[in-house]
Structure 1
Amino acid sequence: MATIYVLEYGSYLKVQHQKFQVLQQKKLLFQVPVREVTNIILFGYCHLSHGAVQTALFRKIPIIYYSSQGYYLGCLESKTQSKVTYLTEQVRRAENENFVRQQAEIIVRAKLRNARILLMRINRRRPNEVTNKTITELKKIIKCLDVHPPLASLRGYEGKGARIYFQGLSKLFKGEFSFNQRTLRPPKDPINSLLGFGYTLLCQELISTIQLAGLHTDYGNLHTPRNHHPALVLDLMEEFRAQIVDSLIVYFVNKKIFSQEDFTLPDEKGAVYLKQESLKKFLKYWSEKLSTELTHPPTQRKVTLRTCLKLQVKEYISCLMGKSENYQPMLWQK
């Protein structure tokens, strides 16, 4: 299955002979059979034919819009197909404080554990005192979860762990880019820009996967449900942030895949973004990353990372519907 990325300025997406075709100045750039497409992602100034929109809506393929700098703008999709049985159970479970707290604890533990393992892996090659201390501090925070703290405390531990983690991660980057702290909106340096774009892509990948499975995106556990806030998506992202995004960004920086020339100069808000032509390079590595094969611990199947996302959504459904007592997260092996 494929995600179509359209980046070229003025590109035109149409359907012909049951294939999505991308053209620029009437020249065919590439084509993909409609049956193989799961997402269409457009960057900057692109055109779609009426037939392409109709086909995407009919086949429930979301059309996702980003700015030319990789900033998420919105999504065009058919009516969300949440299964009534799942939605009913999501609402019921959201009112069960014990269920919400238990799953939130599992999510925080998985996030911090996977983050710590990434630091340990990279630090073996380039050990430093700050990262060593971070690894120790994260272990202490994870230990605090053994007393099964209330939900508010869990969120506090998650926030504290994330701040400490990025301090340790900052010392593992080498080369021309510096990284002092995580800045979200706007990203103030190239590393933050890369991290933010990676998290946005991961979020959108999970949104599509969760909706396709029939779940509602807004009923989560660790993240508070509220309007226009995909709490479940953010919950299931946590265990994958270090595995998929952070490890890729460390690779980008330390292997000098990107240089200063790949980024815009700071705007009036100090924001730094990838240039549009450099997004294509990021997406090439992103697709390769999601195609990486590994053993999925809960099932012991050798699958791609993209399939791992789908299997974890199924794990959550199993927990939601009472087939398993608790959610079983994707834990990275040491």
Structure 2
Amino acid sequence: MSFIYIYEKNAKIGIKSNTVLIESSREKLTRKLPIEGIESIVIFGNASLSTNCVKELLERNISLTWLSSKGKFFGRLESTSNVNIFRQREQFLMGNDKEFSLALSKKFITAKIKNQITILRRYQRNRNVEKVNDSIRGMSKILHKIETAEDKEKLMGDEGIAARYYYEGLSNFVDPEFGFTGRNRQPPRDCFNSLLSFAYTLLMYDIYTAVVNRGLHPYAGFLHSIKRGHPALCSDLMEEWRGVLADSLALYVTSRGIISKDSFNRPDLDGGVYLNGEASKIFIAEYEKKVRTQSKYLSYADFPVSFRRGIEMQCLQLAKAIEEHNPDIYQPVVIR
């Protein structure tokens, strides 16, 4: 199953003869894509859809996500055929179980930190920067504290310290022209942070689609605080994938010259730095290559699966853990 990204300005989207038509008057071209095999469509900026197109997408259970050209979430169009109220009732119930929520939260954060350490070690092989060794040592110490955390507040505090160590270490592998010295966002104020934010946005709505398709509620999480308009469960599940899919991608495209400093627009009035239109297409294409890459990182599968399929399978594992009231069923992804 594939995701379709629409970034043409004022594109017109329609469906004819089992084919999705994406017309761009500005670029004077029409993309034609077979509707079979499409799982989700993501729109950046302005686009219009015919009534028949909306009806067809709903009937085929193809979700549609609207984002601004800068990645701000507007909303989603999705069928209700995947809603599993019985599963969601269990999800709400276990979300109020402090012991269950803490156990799951420790799994999310432990996997996140382990994967971040692995990313640093991979790039450290050919660099041997002492500051990076300091970051790894600091993160490893935090890792030992996670298991003994008595509540989520302490857990999130430790995770925040580990994140500072991580981004300090990561900055040693980013070309100075990208201006990265640490994490900043909303808006991202340098080129590398812009890539991280964009990759996290793409990953977030990959996970959102998988969560909804598996009958879970995207806004009822276990680690992240529940608040209006925030898909907390997606943020929970995203933790183990950040380093694996987003951070590693940002490092890859910058170190290989696929994305350069010239790929970005001038800072906007708020100081935000964003990819230009052509570079956005390139980055999305690289993201798609990444999530379609097959691996054997799932501890319970003895066969290779794509990262996107892995996200779906993790959602099913979480659903099973919720329904059986057993957090040990959920095994987060840890790369080697």
User: What residue is the counterpart of 1:304 in the other structure?
Assistant: 306
Cα drift, residue 255 of structure 1:
1.3
Provide the C-alpha distance between the structure 2 equivalents of 1:73 and 1:189, rounded to a whole number of angstroms. 24
Go from structure 1 to structure 2 and tell me whether the alpha carbon gap of 1:64 and 1:325 turns closer, same or farther (over 3 Å shift).
closer
Task: Spell out, residue by residue over 1:195-214, the C-alpha distance to the aligned partner (whole angstroms, 9 max, x if none).
Answer: 00100010000001000000
User: What residue is the counterpart of 2:23 in the other structure?
Assistant: 23
Q: Retained in 2: the 8 A contact 1:81–1:212?
A: yes
User: What residue is the counterpart of 1:332 in the other structure?
Assistant: 335
Provide the C-alpha distance between the structure 2 equivalents of 1:28 and 1:101, rounded to a whole number of angstroms. 52
Q: Does 1:4 align with 2:7?
A: no
Select 1:318's aligned residue among 308, 317, 320.
320
Task: Spell out, residue by residue over 1:7-33, the C-alpha distance to the aligned partner (whole angstroms, 9 max, x if none).
Answer: 222322110012211223396533223
Q: Does 1:190 align with 2:191?
A: yes
- Structure 2 residue runs of 5 or longer lacking an equivalent are none
Q: Retained in 2: the 8 A contact 1:6–1:42?
A: yes
Task: Spell out, residue by residue over 1:255-305, the C-alpha distance to the aligned partner (whole angstroms, 9 max, x if none).
Answer: 121122211111221111111221110111011001111102222220111
Provide the C-alpha distance between the structure 1 equivalents of 2:153 and 2:193, rounded to a whole number of angstroms. 27
User: What residue is the counterpart of 1:89 in the other structure?
Assistant: 90
| 1:72-151 alignment runs, 5 A limit | 72-79=73-80, 81-151=82-152
User: What residue is the counterpart of 1:269 in the other structure?
Assistant: 270
Provide the C-alpha distance between the structure 2 equivalents of 1:208 and 1:151, rounded to a whole number of angstroms. 26
User: What residue is the counterpart of 1:281 in the other structure?
Assistant: 282
Go from structure 1 to structure 2 and tell me whether the alpha carbon gap of 1:84 and 1:72 turns closer, same or farther (over 3 Å shift).
closer
Cα drift, residue 131 of structure 1:
0.8
Provide the C-alpha distance between the structure 2 equivalents of 1:276 and 1:69, rounded to a whole number of angstroms. 10
Q: Residue 76 of structure 2 aligns to which amino acid in structure 1? A: C
User: What residue is the counterpart of 2:209 in the other structure?
Assistant: 208
Provide the C-alpha distance between the structure 1 equivalents of 2:284 and 2:88, rounded to a whole number of angstroms. 33
Q: Retained in 2: the 8 A contact 1:193–1:274?
A: yes
Cα drift, residue 80 of structure 1:
7.4
Cα drift, residue 325 of structure 1:
4.4
Q: Residue 23 of structure 2 aligns to which amino acid in structure 1? A: L
* SS of the residue 1:284 aligns to: helix
* SS of the residue 1:301 aligns to: coil
Provide the C-alpha distance between the structure 2 equivalents of 1:8 and 1:59, rounded to a whole number of angstroms. 24
- Structure 1 residue runs of 5 or longer lacking an equivalent are none
* SS of the residue 2:281 aligns to: helix
* SS of the residue 2:304 aligns to: strand
State which drifts further: 28-37 or 243-252: 28-37
Count of residue correspondences: 333
**TM-score, length of structure 2 as denominator length:** 0.94
Q: Residue 123 of structure 1 aligns to which amino acid in structure 2? A: Q
Cα drift, residue 175 of structure 1:
5.3
Provide the C-alpha distance between the structure 1 equivalents of 2:29 and 2:54, rounded to a whole number of angstroms. 19
Identity %, equivalent residues: 31
Task: Spell out, residue by residue over 1:107-161, the C-alpha distance to the aligned partner (whole angstroms, 9 max, x if none).
Answer: 1111111111110111112121111100011100001123243221111111111
User: What residue is the counterpart of 1:152 in the other structure?
Assistant: 153
Task: Spell out, residue by residue over 1:38-64, the C-alpha distance to the aligned partner (whole angstroms, 9 max, x if none).
Answer: 111112232222211111122232221
| 1:231-270 alignment runs, 5 A limit | 231-270=232-271
* SS of the residue 2:228 aligns to: coil
Q: Residue 334 of structure 2 aligns to which amino acid in structure 1? A: L
State which drifts further: 44-53 or 83-92: 44-53
Q: Residue 280 of structure 1 aligns to which amino acid in structure 2? A: K
* SS of the residue 1:298 aligns to: coil
**TM-score, length of structure 1 as denominator length:** 0.95
Task: Spell out, residue by residue over 1:72-98, the C-alpha distance to the aligned partner (whole angstroms, 9 max, x if none).
Answer: 333223347431221111111012111
Q: Retained in 1: the 8 A contact 2:94–2:325?
A: no
Q: Retained in 2: the 8 A contact 1:70–1:279?
A: no
State which drifts further: 120-129 or 67-76: 67-76
State which drifts further: 264-273 or 147-156: 147-156
Q: Residue 22 of structure 2 aligns to which amino acid in structure 1? A: V
Provide the C-alpha distance between the structure 2 equivalents of 1:34 and 1:72, rounded to a whole number of angstroms. 24
Q: Retained in 2: the 8 A contact 1:207–1:217?
A: yes
